[in-house]
Structure 1
């Protein structure tokens, strides 16, 4: 590949630019396992695991992740509304409970971007390629500010933006397509970088010029099967002065 073949680059955030995917994973685990331990209704209430995260939650809008996981366990809860408190046993209530836990950790610990991701951002800045972030998380702007990277991206399509514009979340390609449009680039001349299966599927479904899978735990074969053209373990592998493609 050559970066000069493309007109824009779109990054997922959690797990691609910043290690906040680990914070999300912990927040999901704590929330779901606390719920399951007290749940007495129909369905499978065995403990939530990392396998559940990658299969049902990773990369999806928050309420979709709750809904898909509960469905996989045969557990039916009321949908509720986004205004539900985190104490409510509804789909939206559980999603808000998880978000509360994530924000506590972010405020307490902050976040530092992956060094390899910063090296790639520096390289793309030298090429003057316009960059965007496409994240299912409503917290994306806050994470970018905490990492000191907010000025690196011309557009940020967060979960909040997607909701406001009524864009379906990943694995649908709509949020990526909107971001490419914001950057003035055609999909077939835009690169997508994703660590989640749902995000890779979105990039493939949108007809993007290159879909790069970043293996932070989903598995190289799984990401390739989802539609990744290239799979790396660190974005530094994509920086020319590291001995990789230009």
Structure 2
């Protein structure tokens, strides 16, 4: 292994949540008078923290989202997760391989700690992610594309940024990893390569990842 730490994004990389959450986000924004298609939600918000949604809506419309927006959205998302959410195919095998080889890993997500935990419990990934290796944009204040979250994760894990590799599936996540001075590989199961400019390489299936990360 040529890296000392593997940092996973969560949504779309560990849990197959992006189709669920972006469908609900587009519908909720449209309901509130900000017409948004699923494709626009993926383009504008995938991989971002909640504050970015508020900022873009205000920037484009001059209007503030309601104070209960986050709570209502998360309630809808968590209910859908309980009914539909699954782990990304092959990711458990990747985690088993890293653990077996003694390679440290963690998750650094734009989602809240509650969102991460709800998804992990539903999919069984909670057995692979102890609290001390779960990092959220809530921990740093500024989400991706700021490098703060990835730098925070590396610092807490005791690894220099240049010795870290990030596994991402969003444009904002790739930008954040590059800004943090880390190598990043783009997962293209949902996002085409051209949307992940700057990634060191690309893969479309989790069974490809162990070979990519090996020397």
Same fold (TM over 0.5): yes
Q: Could you say what the CA RMSD is over the residues aligned between the two structures, in angstroms?
A: 1.9
User: After TM superposition, where is structure 1 displaced by more than 4 Å over at least 4 residues in a row?
Assistant: none
SS in structure 2 at match of 1:193? strand
2:15 to 14, 18, 21: 18
- Find out whether 1:62 has 2:37 as its counterpart: no
For the residues of structure 2 that align with 1:146 and 1:196, how far apart are their CA atoms? 23
Gaps of 5+ in 1: 37-44, 79-88
Aligned residues of 1:52 and 1:69 also touching (Cα < 8 A)? no
**What's the CA shift for 1:234?**
1.8
- Find out whether 1:140 has 2:116 as its counterpart: yes
Task: Report the TM-score when normalising by structure 2.
Answer: 0.89
For the residues of structure 2 that align with 1:188 and 1:178, how far apart are their CA atoms? 14
SS in structure 2 at match of 1:132? strand
- Find out whether 1:236 has 2:207 as its counterpart: yes
- Find out whether 1:120 has 2:94 as its counterpart: yes
- Find out whether 1:100 has 2:88 as its counterpart: no
Q: 1:167 — aligned with what?
A: 141
**What's the CA shift for 1:103?**
1.4
- Find out whether 1:32 has 2:6 as its counterpart: no
Give the total of aligned pairs.
Answer: 210
**More RCO (CA 8 Å, sep 6+):** 2
Q: Which of the two has higher C-alpha Rg?
A: 1
For the residues of structure 1 that align with 2:195 and 2:81, how far apart are their CA atoms? 29
| Superposed CA offset, 1:51-91 (max 9, x none) | 322332111111312321452xx31223xxxxxxxxxx42x
SS in structure 2 at match of 1:221? helix
